[in-house]
Chain A
Amino acid sequence: MNYEISKEAIDIQAIINKVVRRDVGAITTFIGTVRELTKGKKTLFLIYEAYESMAVKKLEQIGKEIEERWQGSVVAITHRVGRLEITDVAVVIAVSTPHRADAYEANRYAIERIKEIVPIWKKEHWEDGESWMGNQLETVAYPKGRPEEKDLNE
């Protein structure tokens, strides 16, 4: 199970262990955490919600894309859901590859793709209210009802 949605705190080392191989020379780990201040506004805590079965499928898709694009790579991703406090770990991405440059690049690709296609949402709670976050600038529209090829393949 290299792709999971977790209701519990993520064991970072366990995710890393999933991508350990004798023939890799680099493992990069991305740890996404809950930030207190966004543009000067103080977050108290977050709630993450997922369309879990589809989210796991989309994480698997991202892993497949990486393994096709970066030869010999192995990917593991776990995203947490539920209530998270400031500094809690929301997502862990581990990528192993034979050489270091690929491990950095592929890991960056994974987090950017998560922000595009994985059905997970966060609700920010502030002192004066709460709101589901999305593309707040509303710069992204899907006139055809789904992401365009350019959104999916960049």
Chain B
Amino acid sequence: MNKVMFFAHLRDKVGKECLLIEASGKTVAELKAEITKEYSLDKMDTVMTAINEEFAGNEEIIQDEDVIAFIPPVSGG
């Protein structure tokens, strides 16, 4: 299983801090596309992805137990 985390406006839109889903074997792009469709998310091309707290590319393959986080454009500082 994989934990998928949401922050900022994505968290508001999805209505949850995280989901537990089976995503192993999928690429980041595939997972992103599924979630985008399921929750009618927009502007997802500006959203980065982290796997286990490190930025990951769209082509990266998700392994079992990986923690995925969708990172909207940041605004700290």
What residues on B are CB-neighbors of A86 within 8 Å?
A: none
What residues on B are CB-neighbors of A145 within 8 Å?
A: 28-29, 32, 48-49, 56-58, 60
A116-154, CB under 8 A of B: which get 1 and which 0? 111111110000000011110010111111110000000
- Chain A interface residue count, Cβ-Cβ cutoff 8 angstroms: 36
A6 to chain B, nearest CB (A): 13
Interface of B is mostly: mixed
What residues on A are CB-neighbors of B58 within 8 Å?
A: 143-146
Let me know if B77 is at the binding interface, CB within 8 A. yes
Give B contacts to A, CB under 8 Å.
Answer: 5, 7-9, 12, 28-29, 32, 43, 45-50, 53-60, 69, 71-77
Give A contacts to B, CB under 8 Å.
Answer: 32, 48-51, 53-55, 57, 79, 90-91, 111, 114-123, 132-135, 138, 140-147
